[in-house]
Amino acid sequence: MVSVTSILPTTAREGETVTITGTGFSTTPSNNDVTINGISVTVLTATAIQLEVTVPYFEENAEIEFHDWKDITQPVSSYPSMVNFDDNKLRTSIEYDDNSITISGDLLQVKVSAFDAMPTGQASEYHFRSEFHRTPWQNQPPVTTEEWANFNYIFSNDYVANTLHSVAIHQCYNGADGVQPLWQIDLARADVHGGGNAGGNIEFWNECSQSGIVTSIIPTARQRVEFIVHVVYGEGAAGLIQVWVDGTLIYNETENTVLAPDIFGGNMKWGVYHYNWNQNSQNVVDSIGIGAGELKFKMEKIRYLTRTSGNPKYKDQDFAITNEANVGVFTVDVAGDVDTSDNFILDLSSETVLLYRILPGNRRGVLPF
């Protein structure tokens, strides 16, 4: 008779190995049908009293669009600006280094460096932008459209915060010529807005409502920082913007998320935009002087979700942070003989990740640059 008596460790993350102890198991791994929350689990080893299994990656929500770098080839040349990746879903926006966006395995790296040689005849003598966005550029989502984005930046081993000049690391534009971004996330300069911050702080700014926040979160070298952005495009009370950084909800406001007279949403951009370097050589020289002449980071896959108001899951908190660990229900089935155990915590909150059906486990630690 199949019986599950213990699961160790009692808390684990996706991709990790756990040991199920009990009785009645098959010694042939494939004869043990093991699931957790209905998702099949890989059985690594099996004895009559013990199974070693791998906690699966929960990615079954078909609504989620994944940009997985291991499945994408970077453009042959990223310069001139605006070159499609081979999946034709992403497009570069670069000025002016054609090697500033690279892919290696399942990681993408973006870089802006004052030390890179520039093509001749450019408006700026320095490289100041290394970004990419989804295609088409002017997608103009209508009001009431809901979007979620989950992404992360892994700062380089030699990262130094630029305390003199703010730099944008995420923006959303509606695509209209000459219009400011709807919102952006910056690494803020010191004392930005006169607030007395040290510099390098993560700042969120909503241009549509002229409001934002400078956080106390200051990334450091080798650190992985995770972001979630949730927006409902609309005017006034019809608009919503929420931003999480490493699990902390830093911004949560019902307010304008469109810019009149263009009453529609925008297109998100990722990467580095050193807007204070654009056509300003002194700002570049000053940045080099404090050791911040280069900014580079790597990214794991991006997850993106779009819903319209008619969707039955509209405004569901699919990407919401949970402060409680999720109960994982293990089921072991050996030729129809079944037992279950819910004495297991699927740890999706201790290091700030998303609900289990959205986000796979995260790698943390030092990555080579």
Whole-number average pLDDT of the chain: 82
Secondary structure (3-state) at 26: coil
Q: What is the pLDDT at residue 319? A: 56
Greatest mean pLDDT among 248-252, 290-294, 315-319 lies in: 290-294
The residue with greater pLDDT, 94 or 108, is: 108
Closest CA to 132 of 218, 176, 182, 72: 72
Listed in sequence order, the DSSP H helices in the chain are: 281-289
pLDDT at 338 over 90: no
Closest CA to 321 of 351, 362, 297: 351
Lowest mean pLDDT among 6-10, 150-154, 217-221: 6-10
**138-150 confidence digits (pLDDT tens):** 889 999 999 999 8
In the chain, where does the domain assigned CATH 2.60.120.200 lie? 65-307
φ/ψ region of 63 (left if φ > 0, alpha if ψ in -120 to 50, else beta) reads: alpha
**191-235 confidence digits (pLDDT tens):** 999 989 999 999 999 999 999 999 999 999 999 999 999 999 999
Q: What is the pLDDT at residue 344? A: 60
Q: What is the pLDDT at residue 115? A: 85
Neighbours of 62 (CB within 10 A): 6
pLDDT at 132 over 70: yes
Per cent of the chain over pLDDT 90 is: 45
Lowest mean pLDDT among 99-103, 113-117, 260-264: 113-117
Order of strands across the sheet that contains 39-40: 39-40, 33-36, 330-334, 337-341
pLDDT at 298 over 90: yes
Written as six digits, the tokens of 235 are: 């005017």
Q: What is the pLDDT at residue 123? A: 58
pLDDT at 354 over 50: no
The Cα 99–Cα 101 span in angstroms is 6
Q: What is the pLDDT at residue 250? A: 93
Overall CATH class of domain 3-59+322-346: mainly beta
Question: What phi and psi values does residue 318 have, to the nearest 5 degrees?
Answer: -65, -35
Overall CATH class of domain 65-307: mainly beta
With vertex at residue 143, the alpha carbon angle to CA 139 and CA 146, rounded to the nearest 5 degrees, is 80
